[in-house]
Amino acid sequence: MGIKNTVFQSVIVIAILAVIYVIYLLNKGGEYMNIAGFAQGTTYHITYKSRKGEDLQSEIEALLKNIDASLSIYNNESVISRFNRNDNNVKADKAFTEVFKKSHEVFLNTGGAFDITVGPIVNALGFGNSDTLIVNQTLIDSLLPYIGMQKVRLADGILVKDNPNIVLDVNAIAQGYTVDVVAAYLEAGKIRNYMVEIGGEVRAKGKNAQKLYWRIGIDKPEEGNLLPGADLQAIIELKNRSLATSGNYRKFYERNGVKYVHTIDPHTGQPVISSLLSATVIAKDCMTADAYATALMVFGLDKSVEFLKKNSFLEAYLVYADDKGSFQVYSTPGLQDMLTE
């Protein structure tokens, strides 16, 4: 019995040493590469540790182009654009299918606060791919019958609509999905340390060049704070997680003395005006974080806090204005541990 135990213990030790050696090989050497550019109407910044110093920008931009060919409402020949104009000769590809399924999941979990069929009203308010700015209650009321994700479904790759006037807009989730796709590409290439940021949505794994966990800034939600990173509200240490922020302090316009913000309540068709100024969500994947950040902005502060207490798979950092107009913060307990100097 003693000999058997000794042999068994030796095998365990050898296995542990082998795992340690593999981890060492994966992390030794190499250099951190930085690439940046424009995609999906915004900028992207990607940093990753490459053992051979490979520049992957052309491959990543090919991925971004493929996603646009599926999900961009600004590309008339994309899958979503063809579905929107009821083209019967197009089928959902992988990108559209995955985004549609996640959108439906979040739609159900938020009671419809997140809804990708809000497109017609987004367009009517001038935040989509339309220049229409004729906004009145009669117009909004006429569009409400076309809102509601329960009115669309995928059947054998075909988008089935209860009404042909239903239009989809996945801008509130597409960037998060794109971040996940790029991250998956890096991981498939055995890259273990990276940070992918597209339009402010982030996914990070491993550590940066200083051998620290990636630190991501949350912008202060002030009107006029147009340059990301210029004026920070907080810094979060991101450990193998994803982060997305939604807010109304940059995407808005005023017309005839009325302020229109890009967050739309799918139930009323009205722009959301509340004390909640920005919502930052941490989740395992960026597509999930992106969608729920939008939903929280629709909820407003009180309902968001209630929702977060019931959905512990999310961490969040909410910035809101108090009665005196001063910034206040609510954060989930798990996120408080992520805050750094």
Helices 286-299/94-109 angle, 10° precision: 40
Given a cut of 90, is residue 75 above it in pLDDT?
yes
Domain 31-340, classified CATH 3.40.920.10, yes or no: no
Given a cut of 50, is residue 47 above it in pLDDT?
yes
Q: Which residues, listed in sequence order, are joined to residue 153 by a DSSP beta bridge?
A: 160
- What per-residue confidence (pLDDT) applies to 321? 83
Q: Quote the mean pLDDT of the chain.
A: 86
**In the predicted model, what is the mean pLDDT of residues 310-326?**
90
Helices 94-109/57-71 angle, 10° precision: 60
- 103-118 pLDDT, tens digit per residue, is 999 999 999 999 999 9
Q: Which residue has the higher pLDDT, 140 or 55?
A: 55
**In the predicted model, what is the mean pLDDT of residues 244-258?**
57
Half-sphere exposure of 159 (CA within 13 A, CB side): 32
Least confident of 58-67, 71-80, 121-130, 314-323: 121-130
Given a cut of 70, is residue 126 above it in pLDDT?
no
- 206-246 pLDDT, tens digit per residue, is 999 999 999 999 887 755 544 455 568 889 999 999 999 99
Q: What are phi and psi of 130, to 5 degrees?
A: -120, 150
- What per-residue confidence (pLDDT) applies to 257? 44
Distance (Å, whole) CA 110 – CA 172: 14
- What per-residue confidence (pLDDT) applies to 18? 59
CA 289 to chain centroid, in Å, comes to: 5
Reported as a pLDDT band with limits 50, 70 and 90, residue 249 is low
- What per-residue confidence (pLDDT) applies to 127? 59
- What per-residue confidence (pLDDT) applies to 29? 59
- What per-residue confidence (pLDDT) applies to 9? 57
Q: What are phi and psi of 191, to 5 degrees?
A: -90, 125
DSSP label of 333: H
DSSP string, 76-136: TTSHHHHHHTT-TT----HHHHHHHHHHHHHHHHTTTSS-GGGHHHHHHTTSSS-------
Q: Where are the alpha helices (DSSP H) in 125-275?
A: 137-143, 171-188
The percentage of the chain sitting over the pLDDT mark of 70, rounded to a whole number, equals 81
Least confident of 8-12, 56-60, 183-187, 286-290: 8-12
- What per-residue confidence (pLDDT) applies to 252? 38
In contact, 280 and 274? CB cutoff 8 Å? no
Task: Report domain extents, the chain.
Answer: 31-340
- What per-residue confidence (pLDDT) applies to 253? 36
Nearest in space to 70 (alpha carbons), one of 62, 58, 84, 80: 80
